[in-house]
Amino acid sequence: MNSNTVTQEIEILDTTLRDGAQGEGISFSVQDKLSVVRALDELGVTWIEAGNPGSNPKDMEFFHLVSELKLEHAKLCAFGPTRKKGIKAADDPQLKSLIEANTEAIAIFGKSWDLHVTEILRVSLEENLEMIAETIAFLKAQGKTVIYDAEHFFDGWLANPEYALSTVKAAADSGADRIVLCDTNGGSFPDSITAGLKAVAALLTNYPALLIGVHAHNDADMASANTAAAVQAGARHIQGTLVGFGERCGNTSLASVIPSIELKLNRHCLPAGKLEHISEITRKVAEIANVAVPDNMPYVGAHAFAHKAGMHADGILKVRHSFEHIDPALVGNDRRFLMSEVGGRSAIAERAKKIDPSITKEDPVTAALASKLKSLEAEGWAFEGADGSFELLVRRELGRYKPLFHIEAYRVVSEHPTGETLACSHAWVKVLVDGQHEIAAAEGAGPVNAMDGALRRALQHFYPELEKVRLADYKVRVIDGNAATAAKVRVLIESTDGQNRWTTVGVSEDIIDASRAALVDSIEYKLIGDIERKFKTYL
């Protein structure tokens, strides 16, 4: 590991692969875990809590493979409980598996709440202290850095402060390198976090090398606030998951709290130059976990710097910080002006500059676009979440749109046989590209899936880069329910080529035709962008 990346003012421990994996719907393969480790190391976190090697064979296989990775910034730690009651630490098979994981550090959790000691572990309060002390002493004797997680500390401190503090003292006296106070139930507020942390700091004044940390859950929607409060109260080690998923309501979202610590509290927790990559790496980890980054996630979400109101857009263009608390570039995100009837000409002109940098708010084409936008929205179109379709709309208005293909005919048929045979759909499409016809067919799980497959199969003969494109999300909204089954529907399609994401929209009384319109926009947006990037010129 690079020696100049060892010390950070605030240590970051990411537990995506352990606590994050306990979130509903999250399941990592061994290769997924290795990919997450690479991404977190690229971000520059201090520690990666990689799982519990004693819990299943897959985790032990992962620990064997991950030891072969050459990490530049991060160090790995395995996770497990204190020794079991009634046996010696050296005889505990779980502790043996933690040592066999061969990580630099081991994170051990023990009970701080007397309720858990007597009612969950069913041991005496004294034996629990012995379990904590003997476990840490045993691991320190093996040469391990020990991160002690004081589970349920804040609930225990409120219920029996003397005993909760005695568990922390037992860990410190036995040689723990980090003591992490856990809001395991996620119900604490910042004032409790601050008071509890200060009580522990006062107790441990004679342990200058020991770092105090916090591990917060989000059950009261306070995880980020609690973590920031802990840092302000003196914590130098924080834990969470990058995207925020985890047990129940999740953990502290590191993608949200790291920028706050760096930019608001002016405390260093990532290597220099890494913060500007946090949006990209958060999306990468989310993709591996097969979840979406919440659009409204602070700093890194798609809505974090999105402006819709005309007054806001006008203000941003005049004085950036009038409606933005930071420059989005600091976290690798982008400012977005949402296109709608309330957006105003300033926002439209700013977005149109991507196609023609000379466009101004007073330009006649801006007025034409504003009028067109209001007309289309009256018919049910919505462009605020469909950047791809809006860009194509601008191109058409500017005369800078060249259709790259034309669908001459298509047919979609759905079959719903009785019996055990599964329902399926078939699509047939005929396209024209530069005077050449191509016909293709595909089968899909539904009519849109089948049409998507047939269209891309037909076009890949001309545009092989479409092989990388896939649908990431598909949404349907009924615009006017009063028309019942004859109502117009709006289809939003989010597409990705593995590096970029874009969204397009289609509207029709026919859901298949609305989907076709959104699919065509999606493909054209991708192809036009690729051509312009390749030749560095506008079509």
Residue 350 is predicted with a pLDDT of 76
Residue 309 is predicted with a pLDDT of 62
Residue 479 is predicted with a pLDDT of 78
**Rounded to an integer, what distance in angstroms lies between the CA atom of residue 383 and that of residue 368?**
16
pLDDT in tens, the chain (539 residues): 333 333 459 999 999 999 999 999 999 999 999 999 999 999 999 999 999 997 777 788 899 999 999 999 999 999 999 999 999 999 999 999 999 999 999 999 999 999 999 999 999 999 999 999 999 999 999 999 999 999 999 999 999 999 999 999 999 999 999 999 999 999 999 999 999 999 999 999 999 999 999 999 999 999 999 999 999 999 999 999 999 999 999 999 999 999 999 999 999 999 999 999 999 999 899 988 988 899 899 999 988 887 776 666 566 667 667 778 999 999 998 877 665 544 567 677 877 888 888 888 788 888 888 888 878 877 888 886 788 898 899 888 888 888 899 999 999 998 776 656 566 889 999 999 999 999 999 998 888 889 999 999 999 989 999 998 888 888 888 877 666 556 789 999 999 888 888 999 999 999 999 999 999 999 999 999 888 887 765 55
For residue 256, give the H/E element and its range.
helix 254-259
pTM of the model: 0.73
Asked if 206 and 173 count as a contact pair (C-beta separation under 8 A), the reply is no
**Rounded to an integer, what distance in angstroms lies between the CA atom of residue 534 and that of residue 163?**
66
SS3 5: helix
Residue 321 is predicted with a pLDDT of 74
In terms of Cβ atoms closer than 10 Å to its own Cβ (0-12, 13-18, 19+), residue 29 is: exposed
**Rounded to an integer, what distance in angstroms lies between the CA atom of residue 297 and that of residue 304?**
7
Q: Quickly list DSSP for 199-254.
A: HHHHHTTT-TTPEEEEEEB-TTS-HHHHHHHHHHTT--EEEEBSS---STT-B-BH
Residue 472 is predicted with a pLDDT of 83
Task: Kindly give, in sequence order, each residue whose CB lies less than 8 Å from that of residue 495, ignoring residues fewer than 6 positions away.
Answer: 388, 469, 470, 471, 472, 501, 502, 503, 504, 522, 526
